[in-house]
Amino acid sequence: MDYFLSEEQVMIRDLARQIAEEKIVPVRAELDETGEFPWDIMKVLAQSDLFGLFIPEEYGGLGKGCLELSIAVEELSRACLGVSTTFAANALGTYPLLLFGTDEQKKKYLPDIAAGKRLVAFGLTEANAGSDAGGTQTTARLEGNEYIINGTKQWITNGGEAEVYTIIAITDRSKGPRGASAFVVEKGTPGFTFGKKENKMGIRASATTELIFDNCRIPRDNIIGKEGMGFVVAMKTLDSSRTGVGAQGVGVAQGAFEEAVKFAKQRVQFGHPVITFQAVQHMLADMATSIEASRALVYAVARFIDSGAKDVSKESAMSKLFATDVAMKVTTDAVQVMGGSGYMKEYPVEKMMRDAKILQIYEGTNQIQRNVIGQALIKEFTKKK
């Protein structure tokens, strides 16, 4: 379907697709097997200026928005969700600085991020603060001109590999979610170390570790926004970023669908290619329809975010929820269309199915997305009365 993308947006799509085909597809199975971090691919993305897509021109970026980022993320995800997770999580980690950072903080960090010289990670989740983001235990205590951070963040994408970490810690426990604050912490700061790299079911090319803060002292100026704004920083960050997870869903579903069609045209049973059977055609028809619906929603929400709309929580959650549920269904159906072959590592769809599962979990489970949408509906309908 024609989404009436601008010439520039088409160029971004074509560039990301070319990198995906030439640099990612040939190595994705190996990265999945070894869990090696895709630094070579990150360097190519950096040389192609893709890290700067969503960063304003005044800070060294290309000054584009959520739609351009989503288009790039979709194309990378079509090839490998592990690689695209590294790229998308970099944006997630950058949003707190972009949305709430001071001009000094932006000048200090954004040009290197835009150039792909420094990778970023976002540290919110903890052992007892997953869906319940307000349950953060990590603390930041002000002492003179420094904050002292103590606590452990869990399952942090890009952990260990990133140079810059935007994290949430409690500065005043008595205030509940209003007692959280956001900070930027650099790799190499004394008292800041990493736990072991997690061994995951999917997105194995991406790195996931603990962040361990043991009396880690950072300058007072490293606070992002004001004290007590941390929960809002986290929520607004997720509002900006969840559509990107939707774009990941569109990409991986598209990749799996194309593999299934290719296979169904070649595979002969009962004397005919299996694509000629109505049972298979109906599955492919449902897959194609739901992918197109996902893409339409993701692009529409990305445009809505880029319009500068103030509250995008509901729409962002809707796009993440819908497109990632579709991704799980489509990747599973791609394995089914391909039967025994789909289950084998010789073909990429079993990896796509394993990879897709995380999309329904990270950046808020799809149950949390439904809560966010439900709460927004209650607010809207209460207002109207």
Q: For residue 192, what are the CA distances in angstroms to 68, 105, 156, 282?
A: 34, 20, 14, 53
Please answer whether residues 242 and 302 qualify as being in contact, where contact means their C-beta atoms are separated by less than 8 angstroms.
no
Q: Of 178, 197, 217, 303, which one interacts with ligand COS (CB under 6 A)?
A: 178
Minimum CB separation from ligand COS for residue 311, in Å? 7
Annotated catalytic residue 363: yes
Binding mask 227-246 for ligand COS (x = CB under 6 A): ----xx--xx-xx-------
Minimum CB separation from ligand COS for residue 351, in Å? 22
- Amino acid 168 reads I
**How far apart are the C-alpha atoms of 192 and 167, rounded to whole Å?**
12
Indicate whether 206 belongs to the interface with ligand COS (CB under 6 A): no
Return the number of other C-beta atoms located less than 10 Å from residue 130's C-beta.
Answer: 17
Minimum CB separation from ligand COS for residue 383, in Å? 14
Indicate whether 305 belongs to the interface with ligand COS (CB under 6 A): no
Q: Of 125, 171, 222, 324, which one interacts with ligand COS (CB under 6 A)?
A: 125
Interface with ligand COS by CB under 6 A: which range of 38-46, 95-103, 120-128, 206-214? 120-128
Indicate whether 313 belongs to the interface with ligand COS (CB under 6 A): yes
**How far apart are the C-alpha atoms of 135 and 128, rounded to whole Å?**
7
Indicate whether 100 belongs to the interface with ligand COS (CB under 6 A): no
Indicate whether 373 belongs to the interface with ligand COS (CB under 6 A): no
The terminus-to-terminus CA distance of the chain in angstroms comes to 39
Closest residue to bound ligand COS by CB: 364
Indicate whether 9 belongs to the interface with ligand COS (CB under 6 A): no
Nearer to ligand COS, 29 or 232 (CB): 232
Nearer to ligand COS, 59 or 165 (CB): 165
Of 162, 138, 154, residue with least CA distance to 215 = 138
Interface with ligand COS by CB under 6 A: which range of 76-84, 117-125, 289-297, 326-334? 117-125
- Amino acid 284 reads L
Indicate whether 358 belongs to the interface with ligand COS (CB under 6 A): no
Indicate whether 35 belongs to the interface with ligand COS (CB under 6 A): no
Indicate whether 301 belongs to the interface with ligand COS (CB under 6 A): no
Chain residues 36-95 in contact with ligand COS, contact rule CB under 6 A: none
Indicate whether 126 belongs to the interface with ligand COS (CB under 6 A): no
Alpha-carbon dihedral of residues 234, 239, 245, 251, nearest 10 degrees? -150
**How far apart are the C-alpha atoms of 277 and 290, rounded to whole Å?**
20
Q: For residue 220, what are the CA distances in angstroms to 103, 145, 172, 214, 360?
A: 16, 5, 15, 17, 36
Q: Of these residues, 36, 58, 363, 380, which one is catalytic?
A: 363
Interface with ligand COS by CB under 6 A: which range of 42-50, 77-85, 345-353, 357-365? 357-365
Instruction: Identify the three-state secondary structure at position 215.
Output: strand
Indicate whether 372 belongs to the interface with ligand COS (CB under 6 A): yes
Number of residues lying near ligand COS (CB under 6 A): 22
**How far apart are the C-alpha atoms of 164 and 158, rounded to whole Å?**
10
Nearer to ligand COS, 287 or 368 (CB): 368
Q: For residue 193, what are the CA distances in angstroms to 22, 61, 250, 317?
A: 35, 30, 35, 33
Q: Of 35, 56, 63, 134, which one interacts with ligand COS (CB under 6 A)?
A: 134
Nearer to ligand COS, 131 or 269 (CB): 131
Q: Locate tokens 């601008």: which residue? A: 6
The residues, ordered by sequence, that sit 6+ positions from 333 with a Cβ below 8 Å of its Cβ are 260, 283, 286, 287
CA atoms within 13 A on the CB side of 33: 7
Question: What are the tokens at 273?
Answer: 């290619």
Nearer to ligand COS, 123 or 348 (CB): 123
Question: What are the tokens at 108?
Answer: 């200090």
> Which residues lie near ligand COS (CB under 6 A)?
122, 124-125, 131-134, 177-178, 231-232, 235-236, 238-239, 313, 362-364, 368, 371-372
Give the residue numbers annotated as catalytic, written as ranges: 363
